[in-house]
């Protein structure tokens, strides 16, 4: 572990201490919190580099987090949080809403029973092409290909130059995945698809067996969506194929956004919510905002890790959410949810 990592870990540990957490919770009392998960896995066992980023947190950790959130917040629907932003009313006890992105099946098998146990509502933003098994999420395909390949090394063409990636052990697989993932987020969707095909060929891996080998990669079914819809779970759109929207021309953005909204409306009756894939400011543009407004989406959610402030009412189409991927029930979780990390960033 390098010096910056040690400093970061130590700082997070201090900010997540009982004293800092208590102060931050008090200071943030009127600021709603919206948290974002991807998946909840059964147990903690992993195979190689599968789930190395802890995109799917253990079910026991998720349950502890829900208990803690219920103790310190009024856990409400996303609609109640949205209404509180527009109303600009004073909030005596901070509100918290739970969201999930993409639509993994373990939202139903592992998260849903815990949400029901504690009577906690949640919103799941669905990538509709993923739900209908027309697409595989590219980040998961990349992770799966590198993790399950029997090769020690692969050669991939990057910007017209051949580059070697070592994947003989878990450490090398994680390192290669991180480099390729960061690069692939910056290129066009067509280029990403071509590169992913090249990676699958080079690793001699087929994505067709991905869901069977690693069930946490699998999507929800519409039947499961409808069952949850009748049990306090709401659904929003997350595009059809999970592209970086700002990289697309307006007509393709329209298809990604409108088609996903329409499909969810057809299946569950309505769709009032939208979350951006990747969710950073550079991932959307004016076209994105115009399309959402034209399709009656009043609120849209990013992955900017902040609590909601009064100033967020000025831009309802780019609201913040705190990502809890990789969070254990420890000081990092406390620092994230109490707002201690954000207060420190603002001071520094």
Contact predicate 78/97, CB 8 Å? yes
Whole-number pLDDT of residue 277: 97
Contact predicate 316/85, CB 8 Å? yes
Q: Give a yes or no: residue 5 inside a domain.
A: no
Q: Are residues 75 and 172 in the same domain?
A: no
Task: Give the pair of three-digit tokens for residue 320.
Answer: 């913040």
Q: Give a yes or no: residue 36 inside a domain.
A: yes
Q: Give a yes or no: residue 325 inside a domain.
A: yes
Burial class (CB in 10 A: 0-12, 13-18, 19+), 180: buried
Which stretches of the chain score pLDDT less than 50?
1-7, 347-348
Tell me 162's DSSP state: E
Whole-number pLDDT of residue 6: 41
Whole-number pLDDT of residue 89: 61
Q: Look at residues 186, 212, 238 and tell me which one is the last residue of a structural domain.
A: 212
Burial class (CB in 10 A: 0-12, 13-18, 19+), 82: buried
Total count of domains within the chain: 2
Q: Are residues 335 and 263 in the same domain?
A: yes
Q: Are residues 113 and 164 in the same domain?
A: no
Q: Are residues 54 and 182 in the same domain?
A: no
Q: Look at residues 158, 193, 212 and tell me which one is the last residue of a structural domain.
A: 212
Place of tokens 């950073």: 280
296's torsion region: left (phi>0), alpha (psi -120 to 50) or beta? left
Whole-number pLDDT of residue 12: 56
Q: Are residues 172 and 269 in the same domain?
A: no
Whole-number pLDDT of residue 338: 87
Q: Give a yes or no: residue 8 inside a domain.
A: no
Distance CA 58, CA 176 (A): 25
Q: Give a yes or no: residue 113 inside a domain.
A: yes
Please tell me the pTM assigned to this model: 0.92
Q: Look at residues 183, 212, 241 and tell me which one is the last residue of a structural domain.
A: 212
Whole-number pLDDT of residue 272: 93
Distance CA 271, CA 283 (A): 22
Q: Are residues 178 and 245 in the same domain?
A: no
Q: Give a yes or no: residue 330 inside a domain.
A: yes
Q: Give a yes or no: residue 20 inside a domain.
A: yes
Q: Are residues 121 and 257 in the same domain?
A: yes
Its domain, for residue 52, covers 13-133+219-347
Q: Are residues 322 and 188 in the same domain?
A: no
Burial class (CB in 10 A: 0-12, 13-18, 19+), 210: buried
Q: Give a yes or no: residue 7 inside a domain.
A: no
Distance CA 269, CA 228 (A): 13
């Amino acid at each position: 572990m390098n010096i910056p990592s040690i400093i970061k870990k130590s700082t997070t540990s201090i900010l997540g201490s009982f004293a800092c957490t208590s102060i931050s919770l008090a200071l943030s009392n009127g600021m709603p919190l919206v948290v974002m998960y991807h998946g909840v896995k059964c147990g903690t066992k992993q195979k190689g580099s599968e789930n190395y980023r802890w995109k799917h947190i253990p079910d026991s950790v998720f349950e502890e987090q829900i208990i803690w959130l219920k103790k310190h917040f009024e856990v409400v629907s996303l609609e109640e949080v949205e209404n509180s932003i527009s109303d600009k009313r004073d909030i005596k006890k901070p509100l918290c809403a739970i969201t999930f992105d993409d639509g993994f099946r373990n939202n139903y098998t592992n998260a849903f029973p815990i949400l029901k146990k504690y009577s906690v509502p949640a919103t799941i933003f669905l990538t509709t092409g993923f739900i209908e098994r027309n697409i595989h999420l590219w980040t998961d395909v990349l992770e799966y290909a590198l993790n399950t390949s029997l090769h020690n090394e692969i050669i991939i063409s990057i910007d017209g130059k051949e580059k070697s990636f070592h994947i003989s052990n878990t450490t090398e697989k994680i390192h290669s995945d991180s480099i390729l993932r960061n690069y692939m987020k910056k290129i066009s969707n067509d280029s990403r698809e071509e590169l992913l095909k090249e990676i699958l060929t080079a690793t001699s891996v087929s994505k067709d067996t991905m869901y069977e080998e690693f069930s946490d990669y699998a999507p929800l079914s519409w039947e499961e969506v409808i069952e949850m819809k009748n049990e306090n779970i709401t659904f929003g759109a997350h595009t059809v194929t999970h592209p970086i929207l700002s990289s697309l021309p307006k007509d393709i953005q329209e298809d990604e956004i409108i088609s996903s909204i329409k499909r969810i409306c057809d299946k569950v009756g309505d769709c009032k919510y939208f979350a951006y894939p990747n969710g950073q400011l550079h991932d959307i543009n004016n076209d994105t905002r115009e399309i959402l407004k034209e399709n009656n989406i009043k609120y849209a959610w990013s992955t900017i890790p902040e609590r909601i402030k009064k100033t967020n009412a000025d831009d309802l189409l780019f609201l913040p959410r705190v990502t809890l991927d990789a969070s254990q029930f420890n000081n990092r979780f406390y620092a994230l949810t109490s707002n201690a990390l954000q207060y420190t960033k603002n001071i520094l």
